[in-house]
Structure 1
Amino acid sequence: MRRVHVLAVAAATCVAFAAAGATAQSVRGVSKTEIVIGMHTDLSGPAASYGVNSSNAMRMRIDEVNAHGGVHGRKIRLIVEDNQYQVPRAVQAANKLLHRDKIFLMAGALGTPMNNAVLPEQLKEHVPNMFPLTSARQMYQPLNPLKFAALSSYYDQMRAGLAWMVANKGKKRICALYQDTDFGKEIFEAARDQTKAMNMPLVEVATNKPADTDFTAQITKLRAANCDLIASGSIVRDAIVPYATARKMGWTEVDFLGQAASYDQIVASAPGGVTEGFYTMAGTVLPYRDTASPEVVAWMDRYKEKFGSEPNIGAVYGYSLMDLVIAGLDRAGKDLNVDKFIKAMESIKGYRDMFGGPVTSFGPNKHQGSNESFLFQVHNGRFVMIAGPVNYSS
């Protein structure tokens, strides 16, 4: 009987050790030697300038950390899938990352509709969505332990910018021109809510399809309403064309105000200077080599040497977001799992990137790092900061 009892205890002990081992191995995307991070982004479609540069900069930050032994002895491995800025391809890419690659977290995923399409399955798999490259409010609302956004939303930016333009430029007749998409709707809602908060009417609205190339009808409609400020729900090309159309038609007394999706050097340096004077809000700062700090210039040099091109705003986003992810992984400790990582991220306070972006802090009930924005205007082919950081409650 004693022998049976000893064998039973030994068997139970083996089962306990096996269960403990299974628990340790059940943290998807985490092994003794590596942490696997996934990203679906545009590498070959209309937003490839964001996708290529952001993924390159993420790799650059990862390589720096891995060269010093990784995080608590684990190297980071980034798997990037091309979604070509198409929802079906994003779903396909995410399914591979979630179910075949078994990633620990998703970082820097590009596009509002792409993230919205992927998130239900991703959250079901208990995979954090860290700092996607979209400023849509859905990336942190409603509050979910697995959703984190670093910067101000399109909504925050537009409300802050409209408030500033009314207070400092005396604007009285606000209108809106926006894409007939979920992205554009957020700009309209910001214009509607901010004008209401200031006891002003939203005088007129016009919409466009993302692929539109002729804005004559929209600009004619808004001009007839005598707008003096247009809230622009545009990305890149549809920021340039309507502004250039208004100026070509001789409508020079109206100002246009964009947001982070139009904060791209392509807009500022449009041929012929057609965007000169265009205003836009953004959640961070695009550096220029001749005005950047020595630290940022050194970073730009390293990026160019590594990838053969100058970094753009996408690279700024990618490097900063990966730096934040690495900070969270480090704080989570060696015994890494999703819950510890989330708590570690929620403990980050007062973070600021080297580019001069806003102070970023998180908490258990705060998964948006900052709601502050910066106001820029195009002068001589580049964005010049006019004000910031600002928010619409200030």
Structure 2
Amino acid sequence: MMLNWTRRKILASAAAMTLALGVPAIAQDNQEIVIGGSIPLTGVFGFAGVGIEAGMQDYIKILNEEGGIDGRKVRLSYEDTGYKVDTSVAVFNKLTSQDEIHLYYGDSTGFAKTINPELDRRGTMIMAGASFASELNDPAKFPAQFLAGPDYTEMVSILLEFIAKEKPGATIMLVNSDTEFGRDPIAKTKERASALGLEVVGEIITPPTAVDVSTEVLKLRRARPDYAIFHGYILAPLPEFMNQAKQLGLETKFMGTFWSMDSSIWADVGEAANGFMGVMPYRYYYDTEAAPMLDKIREMRPQYQSTAYTQGFLTAMLLTEAAKRTLAAGQELNAKNLKASLNTIKDFDTGGLIGVPISIPGNSIPVGRIYQYDAAAKQMKPASDWISVQE
């Protein structure tokens, strides 16, 4: 017992001496690099959070097996938030008090906006997350944040580029959930559609999980648009819209954005889902085109992995790539240096997770591809080349 007490006293004295001399008690090269995470493993967004966490852990495993970053291992430190902003903030405060964290994953737009002043105040980390909110795609207002894909306005712009090429002069109905998420791209969609010679013939706003959409479908019937673009939903009420529209003989093509595009959520919808199209920033787990990183994922996880998994995987890749470039330049890991390093990413190969080399000139990756659901195969099939809307 006395020996243990004496040893602890010596270690404490040594630590105090190193701090007094300005020398870290642990060599920098031996420290872990910790990614913090406010991740929704339960609640309404739990289905996505489980995939996100798995994707992040798998990329970190691959990275650590290759030696980590500058000889330092990477670790994900996270807790469940239930997709609640106050819980997300509490998790952030807890995790950052336990570890030195320079990289962070947030669970929502609400959390990203709430925590932004604290990120600016600290100046120690960069953050990405589950949100693709257009508001976050502003380096002046959100200098320490980025999106691992196009923002919601850019997603709809990719859809509009596809429509303009497939059917010049097409008419479009916008269908959006009555949420901040749902209303996000409406104004800029109208501007972009007009610039491309497309006509927005109306808007339909519904609760995010509306059940009875018969009145809204009648609006579609009167307008008979060539395309209807849904945004702000995951699944409901899209199948009901599509079922009723087809029963009425409408030939409208239905389209969606990222969170409506995982093929597994359409598997039980049946024939009504056939032909549904939307924008996806990443390749699907089952894509057959050459993608070395997808091959690694399929070796690690032989069962289908969701698009949320891929989003988490790629986000971990980009966060750690920023850290890798910062340390390679001999710079301190802080928000300013990490974000500057992130913005040096140009023509970067994601191992085929995105089908073209990517660049991050600001806060987003403004590229995506149109996929179309094949009900018989229960898969999303490519319907376009990769489309960039980078200005």
TM-score (norm 2): 0.83
Q: What is the aligned partner in structure 2 of residue 113 from structure 1?
A: 110
Sort the Cα spacing of 1:118 and 1:217 in 2 relative to 1 into closer, same or farther, 3 A. Answer: farther
**How far apart, CA to CA, are the structure 1 residues paired with 2:379 and 2:66?**
37
Of 279-288 and 337-346, more deviation after overlay is shown by 337-346
Contact conserved, 2:125 with 2:338, CA < 8 A, in 1?
no
Q: What is the aligned partner in structure 1 of residue 156 from structure 2?
A: 158
Q: What is the aligned partner in structure 1 of residue 384 from structure 2?
A: 387
The residue type equivalent to 2:350 in the other structure is: D
Deviation at 1:18, TM superposition (A): 3.7
Which secondary structure does the structure 2 equivalent of 1:238 belong to?
coil
Which 5+ residue runs of structure 1 have no aligned equivalent? Answer: 1-13
**How far apart, CA to CA, are the structure 1 residues paired with 2:288 and 2:257?**
24
Residue 325 (structure 2) pairs with residue 331 (structure 1): yes
Deviation at 1:80, TM superposition (A): 1.5
TM-score (norm 1): 0.83
The 5 Å alignment of 1:41-52 reads 41-52=39-50
The 5 Å alignment of 1:1-394 reads 18=20, 20-21=22-23, 32-107=30-105, 109-143=106-140, 144-170=142-168, 172-238=170-236, 240-247=238-245, 249-288=247-286, 293=291, 296-304=294-302, 309-333=303-327, 336-338=332-334, 339-357=336-354, 358-363=356-361, 366-368=362-364, 370-380=365-375, 381-391=378-388
Which secondary structure does the structure 1 equivalent of 2:135 belong to?
helix
**How far apart, CA to CA, are the structure 2 residues paired with 1:93 and 1:164?**
41
Q: How many equivalent residue pairs?
A: 368
**How far apart, CA to CA, are the structure 2 residues paired with 1:49 and 1:218?**
28
**How far apart, CA to CA, are the structure 2 residues paired with 1:221 and 1:209?**
16
Sort the Cα spacing of 1:331 and 1:291 in 2 relative to 1 into closer, same or farther, 3 A. Answer: closer
Contact conserved, 1:236 with 1:264, CA < 8 A, in 2?
no
Sort the Cα spacing of 1:110 and 1:17 in 2 relative to 1 into closer, same or farther, 3 A. Answer: closer
Contact conserved, 1:172 with 1:228, CA < 8 A, in 2?
yes
Of 187-196 and 51-60, more deviation after overlay is shown by 187-196
Contact conserved, 2:51 with 2:305, CA < 8 A, in 1?
yes
Q: What is the aligned partner in structure 2 of residue 4 from structure 1?
A: none
Instruction: Note the alpha carbon deviations across 1:279-308, whole angstroms, 9 max, x for none.
Output: 10122221316666565234212134xxxx
Contact conserved, 1:33 with 1:73, CA < 8 A, in 2?
no
Deviation at 1:387, TM superposition (A): 0.8
Which 5+ residue runs of structure 2 have no aligned equivalent? Answer: 1-15
Sort the Cα spacing of 1:214 and 1:123 in 2 relative to 1 into closer, same or farther, 3 A. Answer: farther
Sort the Cα spacing of 1:299 and 1:278 in 2 relative to 1 into closer, same or farther, 3 A. Answer: same
Deviation at 1:277, TM superposition (A): 0.9
Which secondary structure does the structure 1 equivalent of 2:301 belong to?
helix
Sort the Cα spacing of 1:189 and 1:270 in 2 relative to 1 into closer, same or farther, 3 A. Answer: farther
Which secondary structure does the structure 2 equivalent of 1:232 belong to?
strand
The residue type equivalent to 2:91 in the other structure is: A
The residue type equivalent to 2:306 in the other structure is: N
**How far apart, CA to CA, are the structure 2 residues paired with 1:330 and 1:132?**
19
**How far apart, CA to CA, are the structure 1 residues paired with 2:265 and 2:250?**
18
Sort the Cα spacing of 1:258 and 1:119 in 2 relative to 1 into closer, same or farther, 3 A. Answer: same
Sort the Cα spacing of 1:284 and 1:91 in 2 relative to 1 into closer, same or farther, 3 A. Answer: same
Q: What is the aligned partner in structure 1 of residue 10 from structure 2?
A: none
**How far apart, CA to CA, are the structure 2 residues paired with 1:89 and 1:215?**
34
**How far apart, CA to CA, are the structure 2 residues paired with 1:391 and 1:70?**
32
The residue type equivalent to 1:329 in the other structure is: A
**How far apart, CA to CA, are the structure 1 residues paired with 2:289 and 2:343?**
33
Contact conserved, 1:174 with 1:227, CA < 8 A, in 2?
yes
Which secondary structure does the structure 2 equivalent of 1:235 belong to?
coil
**How far apart, CA to CA, are the structure 2 residues paired with 1:269 and 1:292?**
25
